[in-house]
Amino acid sequence: MLEQIITKIQAIFANQALKKKLIFTLVIFAITRLLAHIPVPIVDVERLKLIFAGNEFLSFLNLFAGGTLARFSIVAVGINPYITASIVMQLLGMVVPKIKEMQKEGESGQAKLNQYMRIISVPVAAIQAIATLALLNSQDLLISQQSSLMVIVVLTLIAGSMLMMWMGELISEYGIGNGISMILLVGILSQIPASIGQSFVAGNDGQFTVILVMLVLTLAVIALVVFFNEAVRKVNIQYAKRIQGGRQVGGQSSHLPIKVNVAGVMPIIFAVSLMMLPPFLGRILTLTGREFWVNLGEQLNVIFSPTSIWYLLIYFVLVFVFSYFSAIIFFNAEDISEELKKSGAFIPGIRPGGPTRKYLEYVVTRVTFAGAIFLASIAVLPTIAQMITGIQALAIGGTSLLIVVSVILETARQVESQLLNENYDRYSQLS
């Protein structure tokens, strides 16, 4: 196993194109971490860190922000507005025919959707920046409350969010992996050591017990995620026999792999982003001073606490829904059926064209249903473990671990695919 890893790393560095992409990605990572440590001077950072350290939800929120919230850096808003915009576009794609058509148009349609998401991200970032400042002001954490300075801070946070979004897109285009996922990955990785340390400190039954529980659960989650990401449903493909150049060709058998997890890690990211909104809104409502809104805000804070049973159920449903519908959007059965028809391939017992498309839709629907339940179960498993063991950081660490492992596997798969393509192209040129 170790030898295979070393061989892969050597192959990456031997490939000049991949080497450049890797270096570019690492440079973007370094820039994002540098920006994460540039604070907005209007906030009392030391007091803010103490508040985040003593609050479970805020620690959870800070983890996915890569530590930018506790420092209140210029990129504190992060890429959440872009993720929210992506969710909005996916939901609109279910009810708006024009957007649904764009989703099926390939690269040109995706380019239009990306532009719409960028536009939506700006007002979302503005709302989030203003709400964050209002929350900080309620805790007397703002050094100055001058209106002109507040406007500058809001504009700075919006610009920081757009900058993070832009760097994510740069990674997608010139680097390795999905840019948004990679930005989240480096942020989470930077906070995991502190989260693990909190888990060890939080143990009540002795250090050894805490370490053992953490180790077992970590290995279990990693094993389940790896199994889940590699699982495929193989659909048998038969190539028709034909006469070409006076000889018979074709007749070979192959298979069409349909991933159990077509959407990758994005359902988890979408679900976590949505789960952060209600408690954030709850904290804003508690500042209104009106009894009804204060009570509503407190209820939202209780319901959407990372260790609440309601949080668990809603989180499960959201992961399931996003997994299911993302797979339906990403897997274009019509295009695949047409490609099979053009290449003279068919599914045994299924006529080419429309019947093949319906069969593929039927298969991907069933596979995705099972995959969505599996992914949702893995997502809530650490929280259940936390409820049993009483170690609060397990829920936080488990969700982050799920994202980290999934992103690494997806990125590794993309790298391997690029290596295979380069080798194929080189072989084709030589022959």
- Residue 294: burial class (beta carbons within 10 Å; 0-12, 13-18, 19+): middle
**From the centroid of its chain, how far is CA 55?**
24
pLDDT at 428: 45
Report how far residue 371's alpha carbon sits from residue 384's, in angstroms, rounded to the nearest whole number: 20
pLDDT digits (tens, 9 = 90+) for 28-78: 999 999 998 888 888 877 788 777 766 666 666 777 777 788 888 889 888
Structure tokens at 195: 């989260």
Q: Count structural domains, the chain.
A: 1
- Residue 403: burial class (beta carbons within 10 Å; 0-12, 13-18, 19+): buried
State the CATH number of the domain containing residue 158.
1.10.3370.10
Contact, 52 vs 58, CB < 8 A? Answer: yes
pLDDT at 245: 55
Report how far residue 415's alpha carbon sits from residue 412's, in angstroms, rounded to the nearest whole number: 5
Q: State the residue for tokens 């994202």.
A: 403
pLDDT at 425: 53
Structure tokens at 119: 């536009």
Tell me 65's DSSP state: T
pLDDT at 210: 62
Positions of the chain with pLDDT lower than 50, given as ranges: 204-205, 427-431
Question: Which of 297, 311, 215, 271 has its CA nearest to residue 403?
Answer: 271
Predicted TM-score (pTM) of this structure? 0.75
Where in the sequence is the domain holding 288, given as residue range(s)?
2-430
Report how far residue 157's alpha carbon sits from residue 173's, in angstroms, rounded to the nearest whole number: 24
User: How many helices, marked H, and strands, marked E, lie in the chain?
Assistant: 17, 5
CB-facing half-sphere around the CA of 342: CA atoms within 13 A? 6
pLDDT at 378: 79
pLDDT at 5: 65
pLDDT at 427: 43
pLDDT digits (tens, 9 = 90+) for 217-260: 777 777 877 887 778 888 888 876 655 555 555 567 777 888 88
Residue 221 Cα distances to 106, 182, 210, 212, angstroms = 34, 20, 16, 14
Contact, 216 vs 246, CB < 8 A? Answer: no
